[in-house]
Amino acid sequence: MFPEEIYLEPTNFCNFKCIMCPHGYEGMVKNKGFMDYELFKKIIDDCRQYPGIILALHNMGESLLHPQIADMCTYASKAGLKTMLHTNGSLLTPELSKRLVGSGLKKLSFSFEGEDALTYEKIRVNGIYKNVLDNILTFLEINQGKVTVTIQILRFNMNDSLEPDAAFKELFKKYKVNFYIYKTGSWKGDVKTHSAYRLAKKRFSPIVCPYYQRKMITIGWDGIVRGCCLDYNTENPLGDLKKSSVQDVWGGILRRTLGEKIAALQYDEIHLCRHCDAPYQIQEDDTNKYFEKAGVVKIGYRPALIE
């Protein structure tokens, strides 16, 4: 018994203060730090007997801030894990791009969000559109298709287009790039202003949390396993990997108890989940039964509600 996906956080520091993220609100993200490289290797060594696991080297921070991020990608890839990385792209130099491409990294996604400078810099506070765009294009030139690349674009309103702007898409015509359109969530109810799902609770009954269904585990920079990837302040710790193995925590009583409550839809009994909108995001397999209901539109791999 072992997770299929591991979200491991090299750091929860970020150099941006985006308006839809807890980092955009002073003091909301607490207990910041960088993962010790020896702890990282210990965690990866726990996973060696399960090759093929997806390892996402990101969660609540800008992973490229970690000085050993390329070494982390290399070490995990050599251990047989499928490595992924998500970044705002602002710190991506040509040298780092070369190291990442050569590290065995499988997928790299860019949190770009705004397709023009005005929109981008309104959302991505501290980000400079041209600089990040240039960094991405340089990476693509170095990459030459070796790493699968996705550019994520954010929509705040439910009736916005689900396709990337044609002029923006044209910028990447020379390269193989995927585009992913998504709508804002509420960070378990903490960032209400920008949540595109804020009316979902009024319209649909909850389902078993999609994050829980994915058989994933989230590890903070300090080695503490969190209740989920949205548990950015470790409100629901499940174990300490400085003292335990990934397998022990995954099969442990704290995670089993949390899972039993989620399976029973007892979200009001879980402080972490009480105000979260994730259980109200309709899943792909459930799409057909909702198509006849007014106001359902598909976004990315999930459908969501039109306001």
pLDDT (tens place) for every residue of the chain, 307 residues total: 788 899 999 999 999 998 888 888 888 889 999 999 999 999 999 999 888 899 999 999 999 999 999 999 999 999 999 999 999 999 999 999 999 999 999 999 999 988 889 989 988 989 999 999 999 999 999 999 999 999 998 877 666 777 888 999 999 999 999 998 877 766 666 666 655 555 555 456 788 887 787 788 999 999 999 988 888 899 889 999 999 999 999 999 999 899 889 889 998 898 888 888 778 765 433 333 333 333 333 333 333 332 2
What pLDDT, on a 0 to 100 scale, did the predictor assign at position 110? Answer: 95
Decide: helix, strand or coil at residue 107.
strand
What pLDDT, on a 0 to 100 scale, did the predictor assign at position 230? Answer: 87
Of 287, 289, 107, give the one whose Cα is nearest residue 299.
287
Decide: helix, strand or coil at residue 218.
strand
127: CB partners within 8 A, 6+ apart: 16, 88, 90, 120, 121
Note the pLDDT tens digit of each residue in 229-260: 888 899 889 999 999 999 999 999 999 899 88
